[in-house]
Amino acid sequence: MHVFKTNKDLIYFLENERIKGNKIGFVPTMGALHPGHMALIRNALKDNDISVCSIFVNPTQFNNEEDLKKYPRKVEEDLGKLEHEGCQVVYLPEDHELYDDPSMLRTTINFGGIENILEGRYRPGHLKGVGLIVAKLFNIVKPHNAYFGQKDIQQFYLIRQLIHDLSYDIRLHCIPTQREEDGLAMSSRNRRIPPEYRPVASKFYECLLECKQLLKDGQDVEGIISFANDYLSGFFPLRLEYIALVGTEDFSLLNRKMDSGQQALCIAGYIDNIRIIDNVLLN
């Protein structure tokens, strides 16, 4: 497994692979890898000749300095997992390889309406930061295929828009959410859940499934918001931030389930002070 810490060395290596005619698959991560990430890596290995995984905790997508400081960093453990899985290339840059000074950025990407709802509304600047770092990484890696998880579904549709609008020649893949045995969506932040609260963490997923059925039975979104608030209030210390239904074609908010077109029911909230997001597809 090759580990590169500079843009120059990585670009040189991958350019030689492209000259050989090898197809490159890319999985961008912020580390603290779990089986959900490994599912992305396995898909990249299956579809491509060379799989590249980046590990970089991107400061520009955090709107909470404390959250950035507490984000788990397990580099040696991550490298061991990637090598065991068979990943051929890891990009492990220092901050200065991607940003001279993150506080002095002059370039931003405006994604329109998608960045003003759900994660964009509750985490101002987050989606702009995601879009900018992914654009940088795409320019460095130049992959043929890129892999993102369904758990961060709004991020997936943001990247889809990025690829379309900036004319990247990249095929985007959405890999289904990987879950713990009790249904909790796998996430790097799950490591921070105190053991005494872990048994109730799965209630976010249970709430999603209940609300999905209510939508299928004809309930509108206003009704499921009320239900979700009541349901989660019964499990200390869970707190709902939002639950919303979106049409995945343009990621627009919907008032009720539509008979045609794919839709996603998205949820976000907190267990103690740890943020949880999840979603399920309807059609």
Residue 173 appears among annotated catalytic residues:
no
Residue-range domains of the chain with CATH? 2-175 (3.40.50.620), 188-281 (3.30.1300.10)
Q: What is the pLDDT along the chain (283 residues), one digit of tens a residue?
A: 999 999 999 999 999 999 999 999 999 999 999 999 999 999 999 999 999 999 999 998 988 888 888 888 999 999 999 999 999 999 999 999 999 887 777 788 899 999 999 999 999 999 999 999 999 999 999 999 999 999 999 999 999 999 999 999 999 999 999 999 999 999 999 999 999 999 999 999 999 999 999 999 999 999 999 999 999 999 999 999 999 999 998 999 999 999 989 999 999 999 998 999 999 999 7
Closest listed residue to residue 45, CA positions, set 1, 92, 88, 2: 88
Token pair 């609008």 is found at 165
Which residue is catalytic, options 34, 37, 126, 144?
37
Per-residue burial over 250-263, b = 16 or more CB atoms within 10 Å of its CB, e = otherwise:
ebeebeebeeeeeb
